[in-house]
Amino acid sequence: MALIYELIAQGVQMFLVLGIAPLMVGVTRKVKARLLRRRGPGLLQPYRDLWKLLHKEAVLAYNASWLYRVAPYLVFAVTWVTAALVPTYATGLLFSWSADLIAIVALLATARFALALAGMDVGTAFGGIGASREMLIASLAEPAMLLVAFTVALLIGTTQLSAIASHMIDTPVGLRVSLGLALFAFVFVGIAENARIPIDNPATHLELTMVHEAMVLEYSGRHLAMIEAAAALKLVLYFSLLTCLFFPFGMATGDKTFGALALGLVSYLVKITVLAALLPVGETTVAKMRVFRYPIFLGGAFAAAALAVFLLFVSRGF
């Protein structure tokens, strides 16, 4: 019986992230449009877009291989599994013990690998350039992300996300400059990974500097719907990771009573809505970067994360 409750709790989390992912994309687009003094589409427009794409014909290039058709589903599935592993409203859910922060980084890398292969499959110039840039960004962002994971692991003693969140809630870690640096690095990595300004512009299909959109330019119909849904899920996944690692307050850690779960759910929704509103505010204050400046941007993230690890070594000793 207990197992059934556990499964229900895990299922709620899985379908919660899937359900709110397009809404969060809608919130970011709406806030961004308002900041640019436009009205912007309604909050539910991403759902309508996905619905429309799912009912359109999928056009395939003549030379597309099986990989091209499988990749969107693979990317979506892997991203969804990853999103199910990050604690959102409660810790210690059924699946959360099967993978830690490093496994989550690896899962995201798997999704990116599949998408980059698919981008190169048809052999168009845009797909190739998008894939190569995506790999450039990944090779710079992943070390920084792993160093963030090491920072948290050094501070708390585990890379298990549930344990990190409950530890952060139960025993305050104090005033840590390392955590601030890790947060800074994480935000930079998240911006790069989610193809947001200043690394990439999610709203364009027409620029020579685009990265993510260049990779998926050939996709249409239900394949494109899968990729769009996966991108929205990834955004929510990064929001969830941010709240889980750095602002886990409100999360249901102990017994899963109804009140604790409801509090966790409400606080989670509030937190990620705030993040979804903050993201476009940051995006409108900076300009898109040149491709050659990506290493400097992500190198800053890497340096901050490495510094966080070093500072922790000093305060702990060896």
Partner 1 sequence: MSSLGFDLAHLLAGGMVVLSFVLLYQDRISAVLNVFATQAITLSLAVAWQAYVQAAPSLFVTASVALLVKGLIVPAALHRIVRQLGIHREIEQVIGGGPTMLAGLGLVALAILLVLPAVGGVDPLAREDLAFALAVILLGLLMMITRRNAVTQVVGFMSIENGLVLAATGAKGMPLVVEFSVAFSILIALIVFGVFVFRIRERFDTVDVSALDRFRGEHAEPQ
Q: Where are the beta strands (DSSP E) in the chain?
A: none
The alpha carbon of residue 269 and the mean position of all alpha carbons in its chain are separated, in whole angstroms, by 16
* 73/184 with CB nearer partner 1: 184
Min separation Cβ 91 and partner 1, Å = 25
| Distance from C-alpha of 250 to C-alpha of 156, rounded to nearest angstrom | 19
Interface pick for partner 1 out of 5, 51, 97, 310 (rule CB under 8 A):
310
Q: Which amino acid is at 248?
A: P
Query: 43-52: b or e for each residue (b if 16 or more CB lie within 10 Å)?
Result: eeebbebbee
- Compose the 258-297 pattern: x for residues touching partner 1 by CB under 8 A, - for all others: -------------------------------------xx-
Question: 41 with 30: CB under 8 angstroms?
Answer: yes
DSSP state for residue 17 in the 8-state scheme:
H
The alpha carbon of residue 270 and the mean position of all alpha carbons in its chain are separated, in whole angstroms, by 17
* 47/297 with CB nearer partner 1: 297
* 269/303 with CB nearer partner 1: 303
- Compose the 166-195 pattern: x for residues touching partner 1 by CB under 8 A, - for all others: --------xxxxx--x--------------
Of 122-130, 187-195, 203-211, 303-311, the window that binds partner 1 (rule: CB under 8 A) is 303-311
Name which of 178, 215, 180, 218 is nearest 200 in CA terms. Answer: 215
* 186/302 with CB nearer partner 1: 302
Min separation Cβ 311 and partner 1, Å = 5
Q: How many CB atoms lie within 10 A of CB 235?
A: 26
| Distance from C-alpha of 59 to C-alpha of 76, rounded to nearest angstrom | 19
Name which of 318, 250, 302, 311 is nearest 142 in CA terms. Answer: 302
Q: What is the number of H-type helices and E-type strands within the chain?
A: 11, 0
* 157/180 with CB nearer partner 1: 180
Half-sphere exposure of 186 (CA within 13 A, CB side): 24
Min separation Cβ 147 and partner 1, Å = 10
Min separation Cβ 224 and partner 1, Å = 36
* 64/303 with CB nearer partner 1: 303
| Start-to-end C-alpha separation, the chain | 46
* 40/300 with CB nearer partner 1: 300
How many chain residues are in contact with partner 1, going by CB under 8 A? 22
Min separation Cβ 286 and partner 1, Å = 15
Is residue 318 a contact residue for partner 1 (CB under 8 A)? yes
| Distance from C-alpha of 280 to C-alpha of 301, rounded to nearest angstrom | 20
Q: Which residues bind partner 1 (CB under 8 A)?
A: 174-178, 181, 295-296, 299-300, 302-304, 306-307, 310-311, 313-315, 317-318
